[in-house]
Chains A and B, each alone.
Chain A
Amino acid sequence: MAYALQQLINGLTLGAMYGLIAIGYTMVYGIIGMINFAHGDIFMVSAFIAVTAFTILAAADVTSIPLALTFVLIVSIFFTSAYGWAVERTAYRPLRGSTRLAPLISAIGMSIFLQNSVQLTQGARVKPIPPVLEGGIVLWDAPGFTVQIGWSQMLIIVTTVILMTAFTWMITQTPFGRQQRACEQDRTMASLLGVNVDRTISFTFMLGAALAAVAGVMVTVYYGVVDFFIGFLAGIKAFTAAVLGGIGSLPGAMLGGLLIGLIESFWAAYLWAEYKDVATFGILCLVLMLRPSGLLGRPEVEKV
């Protein structure tokens, strides 16, 4: 029981991070109908930026943890959004209105490019940082097993909840959100009604990258190690989360992320840890086969 509770906490933490990345996939899919394959690598870039920022802070002897976290978050969000913008501008915008496969292949190329440029410029070795947030609260001191929620886990869950609230408000209440939803429904009509479609799409990419940047910082804080290959698996899992929740649906992405995180940690805890990635891929296949529109998605009608 205590063990299961601990897995629940771990799963929620993991799921919150997947959910943050999944929103980037789902928004981009909603607005231009393509899988942004490079999104996982954008997340990886943000984790590297966070490592560099933390190291700079350590060198500058900054000891206040809230200050350090705020600084790292701002820096990482700024640079990562720039990456999101640049990727869209160079690799996807010229291909708008082209065949369906062309942007996907371009995205795969972009993903390989980002991965290898980080490997070349930052080195292929794993980057460890000293632990930022240690310790936590003991929730339940059961005999033989102590259930604990770490400060970093708490940080991740709380940040995600705050961000999700802010984000939902932004999409439903602000002019940008209205434009974004308009473009999602009908890009031509939106442009006729004076919405700057190009700018809206660019901004969507930046927003997705910013959320991925938050996830990148959180991963750095939580695991303390980063390498250039983390984007691939994280990206696939977040994409699975987006599909599970119903691609194009924002609450769906969050729900899917949480489910994937929970499934993964329970699978690893009770079944075979080495096959936990197989479980994710298996779920992806099953969902796509049985319910392609996901849990909260609308079924898509293809028009000629």
Chain B
Amino acid sequence: MSAVVFARHAMTPAERLRDAGWVAFVGLILGIPLVGLTTVDVGGRLGVETRFGLLAAAIAAVFAGRLLLRWAIDQARERKQARDRASTATAADRAHGAQRVVNVLGWVALGASIALPIVFSDNRYVVDTATTVLIYVMLGWGLNVVVGLAGLLDLGYVAFYAVGAYSYALLSTQFGWSFWEALPVSGAMAATFGILLGYPILRLRGDYLAIVTLGFGEIIRIILVNWTEFSNGPNGISSIPRPSFFGLDFTRSAPEGSQTFSGFFGLEFSPMHRLIFLYYLILVLALLTHAFVSRLRKLPVGRAWEALREDEIACQAMGMNTTNIKLSAFAIGAMLGGFAGVFFAARQGFISPESFTFTESAIILAIVVLGGMGSQMGVVLAATLLVLIPEFGRNFAEYRMLLFGLAMVLIMVWRPGGLLAHREPTVRLNALGKTTTTGGTAR
């Protein structure tokens, strides 16, 4: 219970050592079965291998880390107290300043993202990675509507991503629909799934909802794996047509009666054209998502989402139809996920159920949570970090999910609201009772 708050004095060195020793002891107990011992395959049977050197190193690191952490926490607390005493700025002023920085950061990020393919026009790797970042940004913004604004924890978001991707894949390979025809239909399909799932379950409370959505995500994946006639099972769907630029294909030679992109503009053919086109396509989709969500936040429905997140019972008491409000958030989030899925299928040209596991849902959720729930700019920051960190060091890649999990725990413990946490409602009443709008543009 947090009812009792103990006044904490700064620790003496002896106390610090004892504290770190205790943590190292716990680390030792936890480390013995997993780090210290391991089973390896010895000629068809398992044999035990000891790694006590590694264990000792890990324990030493834990001991030192704990000492350092304790010290850093104490230092930070002292500095904060000193600053609080010295400065006269109120919390509101500081939040306002931070908001300005975030706004400027948003414009810088926008400029950089537009300029990126021009600067790196012949670097395939950079453009490809940036496209991946943007897909996650778009997914994060979509999920942000559900988790960040409406406060509904959705652990099966990847299901809608999969519905979008498979809708486009099937519509294009079976019925020959083009990207632009399939995009709205697939989005609507995902939204329909969102409503179908959401209607019965949205009465549930936060954590039950999370588990049911998780179950739904898994059901969709299991069906995709097992219903071979429909989805081609684990082999997935390949040779999905790529989007064209107003009917101009990005191929070396066009079929009879049409033109290629390079031929039409009199350019020399380059495979980079398509990558850059895809990059700008997802950038436009993401920016549209952002504009759409930012507008929604100022409409009654967006305000209702935020009100619902803050206090559901109060909303009911005010006569709001909570089911419909939740349903709208769920459907819009699903639709945005569906759009991202369509783009994903069109970009990869191949999809299989492998791409839509729970891990993917967890990554998207991590992006929203790490960024700060409800913060649009935070999503961009987190998506960039989470995609780039494993890219920087390839041998780092196997630690990626480990660090994900650790970061989720640590950020929750350190800042339960996320990196750019700032759960200010977009609209609030001021003291005079006049409605004012606080910067909800570039968050």
Contact = CB atoms under 8 A, between A and B. Distances in A.
Contacts of B35: 121
A121 B2 contact: no
B230 to A, nearest CB: 14
B212 A285 contact: yes
A125 interface: yes
A122 B34 CA distance: 7
Interface in A75-128: 79, 82-83, 86, 90-91, 94-106, 108-118, 120-123, 125, 127-128
A125 B47 CA distance: 14
Contact of A49 (B2, B4, B33, B405): B33
B1 to A, nearest CB: 5
B2 A86 contact: no
B389 interface: no
B178 to A, nearest CB: 34
A97 B412 contact: no
A134 interface: no
B74 interface: no
B215 A274 contact: no
Contacts of B365: 105, 108
Contacts of A104: 153, 206-207, 210
Given A100-B207, A129-B46, A118 B34 contact: yes
A105 B401 contact: no
Contacts of B93: none
A239 B362 CA distance: 18
Contact of B401 (A82, A95, A116): A116
B41 A105 contact: no
Contacts of B3: 188, 191
Contacts, number: 182
A187 interface: yes
Contacts of A48: 33-34
Nearest to B35: A121
Query: Which of B1, B35, B151, B362 has the most C-beta atoms of chain A within 10 angstroms of its own C-beta?
Result: B1
7 contacts: A35-B210, A51-B39, A52-B33, A104-B153, A112-B362, A122-B34, A278-B223
Given A101-B147, A285-B215, 4 more contacts: A91-B413, A110-B409, A123-B40, A302-B313
Given A35-B210, A191-B3, A105 B26 contact: no
Contacts of A288: 201, 204, 208, 212
A142 interface: no
A122 B212 contact: no
Interface residues of A, number: 73
B395 to A, nearest CB: 13
Contact of B46 (A55, A83, A111, A232): A55
Interface of B: 1-4, 26, 29-30, 32-35, 37-41, 45-48, 147, 151, 153, 155, 200-201, 203-208, 210-212, 214-216, 218-219, 222-223, 225-226, 313, 358-359, 362, 365-366, 369, 373, 398-399, 401-402, 404-409, 412-413, 416
Contacts of B151: 101
A106 B413 contact: yes
B412 A56 contact: no
A86 B208 contact: no
Given A59-B48, A104-B153, A127-B46, A109 B406 contact: yes
Contacts of A282: 219
Contacts of A243: 208, 211
A96 B1 contact: yes
A106 B153 CA distance: 13
A131 B365 CA distance: 41
Nearest to B398: A120
B402 A113 contact: yes
Nearest to B317: A304
A244 to B, nearest CB: 12
Interface string A257-292: 000000000000000101101101110110011001
Nearest to A34: B207
Given A104-B153, A108-B155, A281-B216, A79 B358 contact: no
